Structure 1
Amino acid sequence: MLWNWQLSDWPAFSFDPGLLRETEERFLKGAGVVVGSMHHLDGDARQGIVIELISQEMVDSSAIEGEVLDRASVQSSIARQLGFVSDKRRSNPAEAGAAELMADLYRRYAQPLTDEQLFDWHRMLMNGRRDLADIGAYRTHTDPMQIVSGALHAPRVHFEAPPSDRVPEEMARFIAWFNENSPQGGAPMPAITRAAIAHLWFETVHPFEDGNGRLGRAIAEKTLAQSLEAPTLTALAATINRHKKAYYAELQRASQSNQIDDWLSWFAGIVLEAQGRTIASIRFLIEKTRLLDRLRGRINARQEKALIRMMAEGPDGFVGGLSAHNYRTITDAASATATRDLAELVELGALERAGERRYARYHLAIATNARGVTG
Structure 2
Amino acid sequence: MYIHQKKEWPYFTWDAAIITPLLGKVRHQQGIILGVIQGLSFRFQEETVLQTLTLDVIKSSEIEGEQLNHDQVRSSIAKRLGIESAEAVPADRNVDGVVEMLLDATQRYEELLGEERLFGWHAALFPTGRSVMYKIKTADWRDGSMQVTSGEMGREIVHFEAPVADKVPYQMNLFLNWFNSDQSLDPVLKAAFAHLWFVTIHPFDDGNGRITRAITDMQLARADQSKKRFYSMSAQIQIERKTYYSILEKTQKGDLDITDWLQWFLDCLLRSMKQTDQTIAMTLKRVQFWETNHAIDFNHRQQKVTQLLLDTFFGKLTVSKYAKITNVSTDTALRDLQDLISKGILLQQGVGRSTSYTLIHIA
- Contact kept, 8 Å, 1:24 with 1:191, in 2: the verdict is no
| Code of the aligned partner of 1:279 | D
- Contact kept, 8 Å, 1:234 with 1:278, in 2: the verdict is yes
2:273 to 267, 275, 291: 275
Partner of 2:127: 127
1:241 paired to 2:238: yes
Secondary structure, in 3 states, of the residue corresponding to 2:158?
A: strand
Distance 2:89 2:266 in 1: 37
Partner of 1:252: 249
State the Cα distance separating 1:14 from its structure 2 match.
1.4
1:211 paired to 2:214: no
Partner of 1:191: 187
Partner of 2:38: 39
Distance 1:225 1:337 in 2: 45
1:228 to 215, 224, 248: 224
Distance 2:48 2:294 in 1: 22
Distance 1:80 1:307 in 2: 20
Taking structure 1 as reference, are residues 283 and 165 closer, same or farther at Cα in structure 2, changes over 3 Å only?
A: same
Taking structure 1 as reference, are residues 281 and 19 closer, same or farther at Cα in structure 2, changes over 3 Å only?
A: same
| Code of the aligned partner of 1:134 | K
Partner of 1:202: 198
| Code of the aligned partner of 2:164 | P
| Code of the aligned partner of 1:110 | E
Secondary structure, in 3 states, of the residue corresponding to 2:9?
A: coil
| Code of the aligned partner of 1:265 | Q
Partner of 1:26: 25
Partner of 1:136: 139
- Contact kept, 8 Å, 2:187 with 2:219, in 1: the verdict is yes
Q: Residue by residue, what CA displacement relative to the aligned partner does 1:128-162 show, whole Å, maximum 9, x if unpaired? A: 33344421111123xx2001122222221111000
Partner of 1:176: 177
1:338 paired to 2:336: no
State the Cα distance separating 1:310 from its structure 2 match.
3.2
1:350 paired to 2:351: no
Taking structure 1 as reference, are residues 43 and 152 closer, same or farther at Cα in structure 2, changes over 3 Å only?
A: same
- Contact kept, 8 Å, 1:251 with 1:263, in 2: the verdict is yes
Partner of 2:16: 17
State the Cα distance separating 1:289 from its structure 2 match.
4.3
Taking structure 1 as reference, are residues 44 and 63 closer, same or farther at Cα in structure 2, changes over 3 Å only?
A: same
Q: Residue by residue, what CA displacement relative to the aligned partner does 1:206-227 show, whole Å, maximum 9, x if unpaired? A: 0011100000011111111112
Partner of 2:300: none
Partner of 2:330: none
Range that drifts further, 109-118 or 288-297 = 288-297
Distance 1:108 1:276 in 2: 25
Taking structure 1 as reference, are residues 260 and 54 closer, same or farther at Cα in structure 2, changes over 3 Å only?
A: same
State the Cα distance separating 1:244 from its structure 2 match.
1.0
Secondary structure, in 3 states, of the residue corresponding to 2:68?
A: coil
| Code of the aligned partner of 2:349 | A
- Contact kept, 8 Å, 2:194 with 2:215, in 1: the verdict is yes
TM-score by length of 1: 0.77
Taking structure 1 as reference, are residues 305 and 177 closer, same or farther at Cα in structure 2, changes over 3 Å only?
A: closer
Alignment of 1:318-333 (within 5 A): 318=314, 322-323=315-316
- Contact kept, 8 Å, 1:327 with 1:338, in 2: the verdict is no
- Contact kept, 8 Å, 2:26 with 2:266, in 1: the verdict is no
- Contact kept, 8 Å, 2:54 with 2:74, in 1: the verdict is yes
| Code of the aligned partner of 1:98 | V
Range that drifts further, 170-179 or 34-43 = 34-43
Secondary structure, in 3 states, of the residue corresponding to 2:349?
A: helix
State the Cα distance separating 1:255 from its structure 2 match.
0.5
Q: Residue by residue, what CA displacement relative to the aligned partner does 1:64-97 show, whole Å, maximum 9, x if unpaired? A: 0011111211111112222333565221121011
State the Cα distance separating 1:4 from its structure 2 match.
1.1
- Contact kept, 8 Å, 2:47 with 2:283, in 1: the verdict is no
Taking structure 1 as reference, are residues 121 and 328 closer, same or farther at Cα in structure 2, changes over 3 Å only?
A: closer
CA RMSD of aligned residues (A): 3.3
- Contact kept, 8 Å, 2:175 with 2:198, in 1: the verdict is yes
Percent identical among aligned pairs is 29
- Contact kept, 8 Å, 1:203 with 1:213, in 2: the verdict is yes
- Contact kept, 8 Å, 1:192 with 1:224, in 2: the verdict is yes
Structure 1, unmatched stretches of 5+, are 298-303, 352-375
Query: Which protein, 1 or 2, shows the higher relative CO under an 8 Å CA cutoff with sep ≥ 6?
Result: 2
State the Cα distance separating 1:287 from its structure 2 match.
4.8
Partner of 1:167: 168
State the Cα distance separating 1:195 from its structure 2 match.
1.2
- Contact kept, 8 Å, 1:199 with 1:220, in 2: the verdict is yes
